[in-house]
């Protein structure tokens, strides 16, 4: 395949309306860049985000990245742990998405206090070649051109090869002078029209809530109120159980009924169970969990149009996407083993070893074991035999499939045919500021709670935890395989050490391509340097 080099080097100083990702906050801000801003349904958006904070004493540990439409509608989001003040990853576009303008946003939880005008935002043009649906726009702006100026730092990009037409692996060399050591850069190679100038304008929003800085991990917050009076319930203990990872966390509501759970490293989509420890409040209270992502807010944008060239590009990108799936090696994911939050049980009792017992109550009354069923004012409670005498004076933590249970009368009526085993911890267990006289965990056959009816105030929520992916290095193809990727090269973090050299595989699809070198920094001027080349 023949390649012809045709250089059009343009240095771009981005206007404020285009570079909304650079807007300042009081202390925190995020710089966001993507591999391009023209996509089709089913593709991955590659991004790099840099977290900055003028207050070095406290930093957010979690970055939120989400996608909203210009309607506006919240589409989906991901959470990432910030590592060395950076997050690099990918964001999958749904195959059923409507054609139109979208916005990729990046922010910390505490940045939500000032509204989305404090977020890093990249406008995207997304086309679904297989659907005629286009999202609606209420307010549009006129299309604006990008300001182009000369740049005195003399940045240059070149492709170094003795015989470009014959070589399949090409080398890029970037040279620059007078670049600050605090600047970071990203580099991408994409089809020509896949990077566009999109004019948009943020609509100022009012401060709504006090969102906490997540300087440890993900914070799940909410409020407890009385269902009848709608008044907050202060000083009550709330328990959060992460059923997928078998973790258990406790928190107390404050004077206005608000509570907050600080999580560490939990990954993927997890089912959480939130309940009150006070059984007297269980049917009187209502627990409300705050939305973890920021709501979609209005962003004014230019009128959506598709030129003939853009329609053709969308079809080419779609064809390339299908070809890439054919030649791409299938990746395998490694499942993590997650043990119980209390570690290994001191004793495990398998109920299959005992026959003729219909209900759980019969096991504790008919069979001698280290667990004692006792009554106080006709209400049942458990104690656990232990060498630690203090265990008898501290309430036992009772769990059903790792979810706390406080109505023991209902628990004792469970059919033993649905119970697999009972795990026992026979020593004092401390979780944060809470202490328990041992743990009794009843595990069902199918992890389905054996149809146990939890209090109405308890809630189950599918909650998005952290995503592990961190694309420090973009995937590469076998040199012997065709490369039809729509983003040929993506290097999200490049240090300012010049000359900078890197190699890439020559695209298999014919057409005009752009090499784009962009700053990922709050240092002005914000720029991108481009180099065009052709593949015949």
DSSP letters spanning 186-234: EEEEEEGGGS----EEEPP------PPP-SSS-EEEEEEEETTT--B--
Instruction: Read off the pTM.
Output: 0.85
Q: What is the pLDDT of residue 210?
A: 78
Number of H helices, E strands in the chain: 3, 36
Contact 283, 454 (CB under 8 A): no
pLDDT of the residue at 126: 98
Asked if 396 and 436 count as a contact pair (C-beta separation under 8 A), the reply is: yes
pLDDT of residue 342: 84
Give the whole-angstrom CA distance, residue 297 versus residue 275.
32
Dihedral over Cα of 55, 213, 299, 91: its sign:
positive
Give the side-chain half-sphere CA count within 13 A for 491: 19
d(CA 520, CA 446): 49
Cβ(78)–Cβ(467) under 8 Å? yes
DSSP H helices, 108-201, are none
d(CA 153, CA 84): 27
- CB contact set of 355 (below 8 Å; sequence gap of 6+): none
CA 401/CA 395 separation, integer angstroms: 19
Name 45's bridge partners: 91
Say how far apart CA 306 and CA 365 lie, in whole Å.
75
Edge-to-edge strand ranges of the sheet holding 44-53: 28-34, 44-53, 86-92
Q: Which residue in this structure is represented by tokens 């080349």? A: 533
CA–CA gap between residue 4 and residue 310 (Å, rounded): 23
- Domain 347-453 -> CATH class: mainly beta
Residue 13: its pLDDT value, please? 37
Those residues whose C-beta lies under 8 Å from the C-beta of residue 75, and which sit 6 or more positions away, are 66, 67, 68, 69, 94, 97, 102
Class of the domain covering 3-205+306-328+477-535: mainly beta
pLDDT at 329: 52
Do 342 and 176 meet the contact criterion of CB atoms below 8 Å apart?
no
CA angle 79, 83, 86 (to 5 degrees): 80
* Rounded Cα distance, 438 and 360, in Å: 19
Closest CA to 88 of 215, 221, 184: 184
pLDDT tens string, the chain, 536 residues long: the values are: 545 554 444 444 333 333 333 333 468 999 999 999 999 999 999 999 999 998 878 899 999 999 999 999 999 999 999 989 999 999 999 999 999 999 999 999 999 998 898 999 999 999 999 998 998 776 667 665 544 444 445 789 998 865 656 668 889 999 988 777 678 899 999 999 999 999 999 887 765 567 889 999 999 999 999 999 999 999 999 999 988 666 789 999 999 999 999 988 888 888 999 999 988 888 899 999 999 999 999 999 999 999 999 999 999 999 998 887 765 554 444 344 356 788 889 999 888 887 778 899 988 888 778 899 999 999 999 999 999 888 888 999 999 999 999 999 999 999 999 999 999 999 999 987 889 999 999 999 998 999 999 998 999 999 999 997 666 556 666 666 778 899 999 999 998 888 999 999 888 888 899 999 999 987 766 678 899 998 88
Alpha-carbon distance of 73 to 350, in angstroms, equals 50
């Amino acid at each position: 395949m023949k390649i012809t080099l045709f250089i059009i080097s343009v240095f771009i100083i981005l206007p404020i309306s285009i570079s909304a990702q650079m807007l300042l906050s009081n202390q925190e801000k995020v710089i966001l860049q993507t591999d391009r801003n023209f996509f089709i349904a089913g593709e991955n958006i590659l991004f790099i985000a840099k977290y900055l904070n003028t207050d070095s004493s406290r930093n957010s540990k979690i970055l939120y990245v989400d996608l909203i439409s210009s309607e506006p509608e919240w589409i989906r989001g991901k959470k990432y742990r910030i590592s060395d003040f950076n997050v690099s990853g990918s964001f999958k576009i749904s195959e059923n998405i409507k054609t139109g303008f979208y916005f990729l946003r990046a922010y910390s939880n505490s940045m939500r206090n000032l509204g989305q005008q404090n977020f890093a935002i990249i406008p995207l043009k997304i086309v679904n070649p297989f659907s005629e649906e286009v999202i609606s726009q209420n307010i549009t702006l006129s299309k604006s051109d990008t300001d182009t100026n000369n740049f005195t730092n003399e940045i240059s990009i070149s492709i170094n090869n003795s015989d470009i037409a014959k070589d399949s692996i090409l080398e890029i060399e970037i040279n620059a002078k007078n670049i600050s050591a605090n600047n970071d850069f990203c580099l991408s190679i994409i089809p020509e029209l896949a990077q566009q100038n999109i004019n948009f304008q943020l609509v100022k929003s009012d401060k709504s809530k006090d969102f906490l800085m997540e300087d440890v991990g993900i914070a799940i917050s909410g409020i407890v109120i009385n269902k009848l009076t709608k008044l907050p319930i202060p000083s009550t203990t709330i328990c959060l159980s992460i059923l997928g990872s078998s973790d258990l966390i406790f928190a107390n509501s404050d004077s206005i009924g608000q509570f907050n759970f600080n999580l560490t490293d939990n990954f993927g989509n997890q089912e959480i169970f939130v309940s009150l420890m006070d059984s007297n409040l269980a049917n009187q209270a209502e627990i409300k969990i705050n939305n973890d992502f920021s709501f979609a807010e209005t962003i004014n944008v230019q009128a959506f149009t598709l030129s003939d060239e853009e329609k053709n590009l969308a079809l080419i990108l779609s064809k390339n996407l299908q070809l890439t799936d054919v030649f791409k090696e299938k990746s395998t994911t490694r499942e993590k083993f997650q043990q119980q939050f209390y570690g290994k049980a001191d004793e495990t009792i398998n109920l299959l070893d005992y026959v003729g017992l219909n209900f759980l109550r019969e096991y504790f009354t008919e069979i001698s074991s280290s667990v004692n069923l006792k009554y106080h004012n006709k209400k049942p409670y458990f104690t656990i035999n232990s060498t630690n005498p203090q265990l008898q004076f501290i309430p036992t933590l009772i769990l059903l499939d790792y979810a706390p249970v406080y109505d023991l009368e209902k628990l004792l009526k469970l059919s033993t045919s649905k119970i697999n085993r009972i795990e026992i911890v026979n020593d004092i267990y401390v979780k944060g500021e809470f202490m328990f006289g041992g743990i009794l965990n009843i595990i069902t056959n199918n992890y389905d709670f054996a149809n146990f009816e939890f209090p109405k105030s308890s809630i189950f929520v599918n909650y998005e935890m952290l995503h592990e992916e961190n694309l420090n290095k973009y995937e590469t193809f076998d040199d012997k395989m065709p490369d039809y990727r729509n983003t040929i090269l993506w290097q999200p973090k490049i240090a300012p050490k010049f000359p900078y050299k890197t190699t890439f595989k020559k695209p298999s699809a014919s057409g005009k391509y752009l090499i784009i070198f962009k700053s990922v920094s709050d240092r002005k001027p914000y720029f991108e340097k481009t180099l065009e080349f052709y593949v015949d």
